[in-house]
Amino acid sequence: MLRFAGKRLLWALVTLWAIITITFIIMHSIPGDPFAREGKMPPAVYENLTKHYHLDEPLYVQYFLYIKSLLVFDFGPSLKSSTLTVNDYIEKGFPVSLHLGIQALLLAVVLGLIFGVIAALNRNKWPDYLSMVLAIIGISVPSFILATFLINYFAVEWGLLPAATWSSWSHTILPTISLAMLPMAYIARLMRSSMLEVLNQDFMLTAKSKGLNKGFIIMKYGVRNAILPVVSVLGILAANLVTGSFVVESIFGIPGVGELFVDGIFNRDYPVILGSTIFYSMVLIFLIFIVDIAYFWIDPRIKVAGEEQ
């Protein structure tokens, strides 16, 4: 296992390097300029700015300067803020996004699995249809609509919860629901379908005929064998949740990292683009690695890539 992890770490470095390089090339080949403004900016001001941020150097020099600063984990300044650096943005924003993301993930996984299993056990009966309707709403109503609705009712109309900002636990309830709805629906559907398949497997029938407790069979043999597709998609799902959602964070005024991914690009804030990309890919690569290990844990027959016999 250790050798496997070591090997994947090396691969992760290669992957990261490829991501950085390709992103660097693309971001410098699209139109736009971090200092472009509607209106007048005298050439002198423009030159002072580009010189200040080393953007007047040839691209390859900028590239090597960037890689060099990366080696000491310095993501550089933000071209739009003289107050916060890219490191500041991530350090301040990530704990918030992580907190919200984990809450949403827990809600989505727990409820999603429960709904999925119940639906499968009650196939074509009302719990199944109810969970399907809920899932369809979850999948068809995107977070920006759901969020606006939730604020409108829970905060404005009924005054039960605060509308926005990140100041106490009660402030996290609405954004968590907005964020969790889609993954929950997805997990519920996925779990239902693979559970249905498992329920018809011979070993389930054997266990049943042996007279084992029904709940025990479902937990021990059913869920464990049916959960694999959920685990497969969980890596990407979790990476997207814990690195912040632009939509949900901006609607609820949550100081997470979600905005970096979008604002960085619209502002052509080069260090922010690269910094947020590297940050995201590290999380993604890590979580996908965890998923690959989880495969082995769930079904020891599976041989994970890179682990040669």
What residues between 50 and 69 interact with other proteins by CB under 8 A?
51-53
Kindly report the three-state secondary structure assignment for every residue of 184-201: HHHHHHHHHHHHHHHHCC
Q: Which stretch binds other proteins (CB under 8 A): 64-72, 78-86, 107-115, 209-217?
A: 78-86
Q: Report if residue 245 touches other proteins, rule: CB under 8 A.
A: no
- The DSSP-derived string for 74-134 is ---EETTEEEEEHHHHHHHHHHHHHHHHHHHHHHHHHHHHHHHHHHHHTTTSHHHHHHHHH
Judged by CB under 8 A, the residue of 114, 130, 134, 139 near other proteins is 139
Number of residues interacting with other proteins: please give it, by CB under 8 A.
Answer: 117
Paired residues of 81 in beta bridges: 78
Distance CA 132, CA 174 (A): 22
Residues in region 98-137 near other proteins by CB under 8 A: 98-99, 102-103, 106, 132-133, 135-137
Cβ atoms of 100 and 256 closer than 8 Å: yes
Q: Report if residue 2 touches other proteins, rule: CB under 8 A.
A: no
Q: Report if residue 288 touches other proteins, rule: CB under 8 A.
A: yes
CA dihedral 129, 134, 140, 141 (to 10 degrees): 160
Q: How far is the CB of 58 from other proteins (least distance, A)?
A: 16
Beta-carbon neighbour count of residue 129 at 10 Å?
12
Our CB check for other proteins shows the closer of 69 and 159 to be 159
Q: Which stretch binds other proteins (CB under 8 A): 61-69, 94-102, 107-115, 214-222?
A: 94-102
Query: Could you tell me which residues come within 8 angstroms of residue 294 by beta carbon, excluding any fewer than 6 positions away?
Result: 231
Q: Report if residue 23 touches other proteins, rule: CB under 8 A.
A: yes
Our CB check for other proteins shows the closer of 116 and 217 to be 116
Our CB check for other proteins shows the closer of 89 and 217 to be 89
Our CB check for other proteins shows the closer of 94 and 218 to be 94
Our CB check for other proteins shows the closer of 217 and 279 to be 279
Q: Report if residue 241 touches other proteins, rule: CB under 8 A.
A: no
Distance CA 229, CA 307 (A): 21
Q: Report if residue 95 touches other proteins, rule: CB under 8 A.
A: yes
Residues in region 249-268 near other proteins by CB under 8 A: 250-253, 255, 259, 261-262, 265-268
Look up tokens 């009302």; give the residue: 126
Beta-carbon neighbour count of residue 209 at 10 Å?
8
Longest dimension (CA), the chain: 85
Instruction: Tell me the HSE value of 60 on the side-chain side, using a 13 A CA sphere.
Output: 0
Q: Report if residue 211 touches other proteins, rule: CB under 8 A.
A: no
Q: Report if residue 290 touches other proteins, rule: CB under 8 A.
A: no
Residues in region 141-170 near other proteins by CB under 8 A: 141-142, 144-145, 148-149, 151-152, 155-156, 159, 162-169
Closest CA to 245 of 236, 254, 234: 254
Q: Which stretch binds other proteins (CB under 8 A): 59-67, 68-76, 212-220, 223-231?
A: 223-231
